[in-house]
Chains A and B, each alone.
Chain A
């Protein structure tokens, strides 16, 4: 029998409202979203759009005013029936934006702490292996770099073998090299542990590389969802469609200059005229935006 998209199991069903109070006033977070099992889904949108709150509600750390959270056949939250499964009992791994490693424990102790009752320490060794934490095991989290902390937080979230992994802007604080390295760790564990992963990210190249599905939020509402490549290309053939990167090489040919730009891990060649190229130097950060059919190139710093 052919498997169509309809046969895929809906893993997570979210349908809820929550009133968020912030310094800029009240906002209603209104989420209606289905997420399929095994997918890597990205939540995208401005800060303050309600992405982290969605995570907190899914993890059971907050409860919505109305609506429900269903995962597989289980109801995790249902306000109408007054059901709120405790965060402790939800099958979720959560990597917090600020890592939230326990400073009073070493790296290994952080992972061991996450073990369930009677769970074997084997999983800790396995994760140390996969995520390359061997050298760091006896270190105190305070002494680690951002990327190292992030890896420890990722490993710790996986110790109890969750079905769902929530990553709150895991890579935003890291430099480019660390980012790409961590992206591959995330992909590896996502596949290895057959996770349903939800990622919050602002980085377009990262989203296209990592995710199967994209959900864009703004002011507490889901404004768009679909394949990342569709959303970032078809929908946005205007000045808003843009990438940023670094000038690697500039070659002058007659009246034009071919500028090679590194965007994420990809090299892109863009044609610039003399005037555009005048104030560009190798190493400059640039933005490449599409206007009609021709990409235009702008210096951004």
Chain B
């Protein structure tokens, strides 16, 4: 029988990460979609970096930054009681950065594909930017929101490098499923590794299938205003 903890931990991590990402990504995507600021390319690049950077690089720098051995990590530790290396909180932060583009990109595309007159019409009707976002823009980019949620969730389940660097391999604390698989293989325990792998395979397949069924494509836009 396998240890179910790594799987539970994986889904707990994926759920918390996805929820936080949704909250963080809506304002970022909104800003990126509508800004005319010259800093936009820089912010856009930073958001997209995790797509191309080896996860170990992100993990490595986070490990260095948050280690209590240096100033910033020490400050976090002393003042906020927050130790981000080899802890679940650290995993969440790492996952947030690692999966950020998968949440921001679909939402940004959703905003950009909405006709600007929807926003303008709402403003002319006297509605604030926030009301317009809540009542007009977000309800009309639901497919993009769903795509973002599911991709970020699935991507967090699949992460390995960041988690290994910053979280290590502490049973019940930071040993997520992908690490557990690696661990079992190292220990020549192929049948347990296979069970974990099969479960992850099945679940991620289902998740992606749902995305395709709902949207008919990764970043399919909503065709309301054509």
Please pick, from A61, A98, A104, A116, the residue contacting B124 in the complex, using a CB distance under 8 A. A61
Please pick, from B128, B139, B140, B225, the residue contacting A88 in the complex, using a CB distance under 8 A. B128
The docked-state distance in angstroms from the alpha carbon of A102 to that of B136 is: 7
**Given contacts A94-B121, A142-B224, are A100 and B115 in contact (CB under 8 A)?**
yes
**Given contacts A103-B225, A104-B139, A142-B224, are A96 and B126 in contact (CB under 8 A)?**
no
Whole-angstrom distance between the Cβ of A297 and the nearest chain B Cβ: 39
**Given contacts A88-B126, A89-B126, are A61 and B120 in contact (CB under 8 A)?**
yes
Give the interface size bracket for A toward B.
20 to 34
The docked-state distance in angstroms from the alpha carbon of A60 to that of B124 is: 8
A160 sits at the interface (CB 8 A): yes
Please pick, from B120, B128, B135, B139, the residue contacting A100 in the complex, using a CB distance under 8 A. B120
Is there contact, CB below 8 Å, between B124 and A94?
yes
B148-161 vs A, Cβ < 8 Å mask (1 yes, 0 no): 00000000000000
Q: Give the contacts of B103-134 with A (CB-CB under 8 A).
A: 115, 117-118, 120-128
A193 sits at the interface (CB 8 A): no
The docked-state distance in angstroms from the alpha carbon of A159 to that of B140 is: 22
Is there contact, CB below 8 Å, between A160 and B125?
yes
Whole-angstrom distance between the Cβ of A20 and the nearest chain B Cβ: 15
A250 sits at the interface (CB 8 A): no
Dominant secondary structure at the A interface: loop
Count of CB-CB pairs between chains A and B under 8 Å: 63
Please pick, from A90, A96, A114, A160, the residue contacting B120 in the complex, using a CB distance under 8 A. A96
A261 sits at the interface (CB 8 A): no
Is there contact, CB below 8 Å, between A98 and B139?
no
Whole-angstrom distance between the Cβ of B9 and the nearest chain A Cβ: 37
Is there contact, CB below 8 Å, between A100 and B118?
yes
Contacts of A96 in B (CB 8 A): 117, 120-121
Whole-angstrom distance between the Cβ of B33 and the nearest chain A Cβ: 17
A86-102 vs B, Cβ < 8 Å mask (1 yes, 0 no): 11111011101110101
The docked-state distance in angstroms from the alpha carbon of A142 to that of B123 is: 21
Is there contact, CB below 8 Å, between B126 and A160?
yes
**Given contacts A113-B135, A142-B224, are A100 and B117 in contact (CB under 8 A)?**
yes
Q: Which residues of A contact B (CB under 8 A)?
A: 56, 59-61, 86-90, 92-94, 96-98, 100, 102-104, 113-114, 116, 142, 156-157, 159-160
